[in-house]
Amino acid sequence: MRPIARRRTLVAAALAALTLAAAGAVPAAAAPGGQPGPAGNGGKGGPHRPAYYLALGDSLAAGYQSTPTGGHVVGRGYAQDLARTLGARAAQQHRPFEFTDLGCPGETTGTMADGGCPYPHSFTGSQLEAAVSYLASHRKDEVLVTIDIGANDVQRCAAGGTLDLPCALNGIEQVRTGLDRILGELRAAAGPHTRIVGMNLYDPFLAAWTTGDRGKELATASVRLSDSLNQVIGSVDARHRVPTADVAGAFATDAFAPTVPLGGQQVPLNVARILQWTNMARGDIHANDAGYQVIADAFLAEVPAQYLK
C-alpha cells in the first residue's frame, strides 16, 4: 500500500468510493428510527422492581485504557460511568440495579456473532450468544442494552500512514451485514421492556494531523472513512429501531474549523478533541477518563424515557 502523501489521487478515489459505499446502507424497506414502547404498563418499573443494564461491544464497552507506564486497565470506561448514573437513579426510586458488562477488547462484528474474541472473557461461545441468553432470561424485566461494535472491522485500514481502500470498503460491508445480524438476534431475544441503544464512533486517526503534511492528508481521509462507517451504523440501527448515541458529534469529528489552541499550536477542533479525550498522544486509540464520560453522556441522551421511570 502506498503512503497517502505520495498518491493524492488514491485519497480522492478512496473518498469517492467510501461515499458510494455508505449511500446504500439501508434497504428500501428499512423501518424508521426510534423504538416502540412496550405493551402493558409502558415498561415502567414498580416499587422495588429491579432494573438491569447490559453493556455489549468491544474494548470501549469493556472500558479498556492504556496507562502511562505501558500497562493497561479494563473496567474503566463509558459503561461503568453510565452504570453509576443509572444506579444512582435506581437508588432514588428504591429499586435494585444490576450491571453486566460483556464487552470484549478486540471484538469485531464477526467474532461478536461467531466467537473468537482475542481477549480473555467470561462467556463461552460468542458474546452474541451470551447476550441472547441473558435477554431470554430477562424477558419480563426492564433492561437497557448498550452496544458499540465495528471499529475493529476497519481500524487496521487507516494505520501506518496509509489508507487501504479495499480494506476499508470490505470492513464497512462487514459492519453492515454483521451489525444487522447482531441487532436482529438481540431484538428477537429481547422482551417488551428491553431498550437497545447503539453508538457511532469517534476517529482516533485525526491525531495524525499534528505529524506534518502527510499526517494531515491521512487525518482528512480518515474522517471520510469514519463518516461512511458511521452512516452505515446509523442506518442499520434505524432499520432495527435502535437509537444511535452520537459519539462522533460529541467529539466534533467533522469539525476541521474552528482551530483552537493545544500544546502551543493551533489545531482543528476535531484534532484537539481526539488528543484531549483519547490516549492517542501515546498511540492508544482508546478514550481516556474524560472521553469515556463524553461517550456515557451521549448514551444518556438516547436512553429512552421509559427506562427507570
Q: Is the pLDDT of residue 6 over 60?
A: no
Q: What is the pLDDT of residue 305?
A: 82
Structure-block grid coordinates of residue 151 = 471499529
pTM for this prediction: 0.86
Q: How far is CA 227 from the centre of its chain?
A: 13
- Domains of the chain and any CATH numbers: 44-300 (3.40.50.1110)
| Rounded CA separation 221/205 (Å) | 9
| Rounded CA separation 306/309 (Å) | 5
Q: What is the pLDDT of residue 17?
A: 42
The beta-strand segments (E) located in the chain are 51-57, 65-66, 72-73, 97-101, 142-148, 194-199, 244-245, 259-262, 265-268, 278-279, 284-287
Q: What is the pLDDT of residue 46?
A: 61
Q: Is the pLDDT of residue 13 over 80?
A: no
Q: Is the pLDDT of residue 7 over 90?
A: no
Q: What is the mean pLDDT of the chain?
A: 87
| Rounded CA separation 307/144 (Å) | 7
Q: What is the pLDDT of residue 112?
A: 98
Q: What is the pLDDT of residues 96-130, one digit of tens each?
A: 999 999 999 999 999 999 999 999 999 999 999 99
Q: What is the pLDDT of residue 27?
A: 36
